[in-house]
Amino acid sequence: MDYKDLTILYEDNHVIVVVKPQGLPSQADKSGDDDMLGLLKSYVKDKYDKPGNVYLGLVHRLDRPTGGVMVFARTSKAAARLSEQIKDGTFSKKYLAVLTARPQEKKGRLTHYLFKDQANNIVRVVPMTTEGAKKAVLDYNILEDNDEAGLYLADIRLFTGRSHQIRVQMSTVGCPLYGDVKYGKNQPANSFSLWSYDLSFRHPTTDKIMTFRIFPPDKSPWTLFNLERYIGIVKPRD
């Protein structure tokens, strides 16, 4: 993949806000495939004719199958300030997810303790006292039912950024994501349905609140729902 294929939403001397395609790692992994961090470093190096190594801070991640809006820091100071916002909860991440079952309650908060099996790249819910367990918290709200398809559109806000968090927590309550073959049963491949649609943070130098919203891909299962009603922006037309 070439960085020219990426969609840049905003950039200045401190941050770059970009849309991560589904299937692209946030940073280099053992697959050796192209990754967001590497592509954006090449973009900055070429656009601004930067000599030597280019600094770009990865302050948050999206799982490889997940797409949507991300922000990268162009300076170490910006990276530190954005990381601090993540810690104090002022850095807001919202996701759309298509679930294969409806939770008992239309909206609620889920709290679990997660442990990542690094060798097998899988995350499990474990007792709080388990060594290495990390607390995971999210809020969900069911926006729309498509009973004919047996699918449900959820708005999810993360309060912690654990690996595979949304996928594991929703699967644990019996509502796996559509297309998630790792944590759901009999799911169709290549239809992973988790999208980072809303990102909000304070600019690291101006302190201005910046909010970015982006639609998921124009394909099933997203097209089964009236997304414009919930995202609050008009869907781009060809």
Active-site residue list: 63
**59 and 83 in contact (C-beta within 8 Å)?**
yes
**Residue 41: DSSP 8-state:** H
**133 and 125 in contact (C-beta within 8 Å)?**
no
The span from the CA of 232 to the CA of 157, in Å, is: 16
**17 and 199 in contact (C-beta within 8 Å)?**
yes
| CB within 8 Å of 30: residues ≥ 6 apart | none
The span from the CA of 194 to the CA of 115, in Å, is: 21
